[in-house]
Amino acid sequence: MKHESPPSPASYTGHVKNGVVVLEAGSLEEGQAVRVEPIEPGTQSPLDSERAARVRRLQQRFAEWTEEDGRLTDEEADRLRAALDQHRGVRFRSPPLD
């Protein structure tokens, strides 16, 4: 008699945040038993690669802004600071998803 293993359940990816595993997508029922296996170093999911690319773009943008700010005259810096103070509390929202 041939023994077949049961089909593999759905797979979820996530990351550890403050010592807790946070799933990227999908939901599980409260109390659901799970198995957590670290992904081998150097292996990235498409989501990991996308997140890393976004972080690199943001770091580059912040570096550009820092360089631009360093070239401002004192008068320009004061005007910018006053404009930012005037609009403090403006809330930016993510665009709606289709």
Contact residues for 10 (Cβ-Cβ < 8 A; gap 6+): 26
Where residue 92 falls (left for φ over 0; alpha for ψ -120 to 50; beta otherwise) is beta
Distance separating alpha carbons of residues 14 and 24, to the nearest angstrom? 5
pLDDT at residue 5 tops 60: no
Percent of the chain with pLDDT over 90: 11
Whether residue 54 is contained in a domain is answered as: yes
Q: Tell me which residue range forms the domain holding 73.
A: 47-88
* Residue of higher predicted confidence among 76 and 97: 76
> pLDDT band for position 41 (50/70/90)?
confident
Whether residue 68 is contained in a domain is answered as: yes
Whether residue 21 is contained in a domain is answered as: no
Q: What's the confidence (pLDDT) of residue 94? A: 67
Amino acid identity for residue 3 in this structure: H
Q: What's the confidence (pLDDT) of residue 74? A: 92
Q: How crowded is the C-beta side of 28, counted as CA atoms within 13 Å?
A: 16
Q: What's the confidence (pLDDT) of residue 35? A: 83
> Domain count of the chain?
1
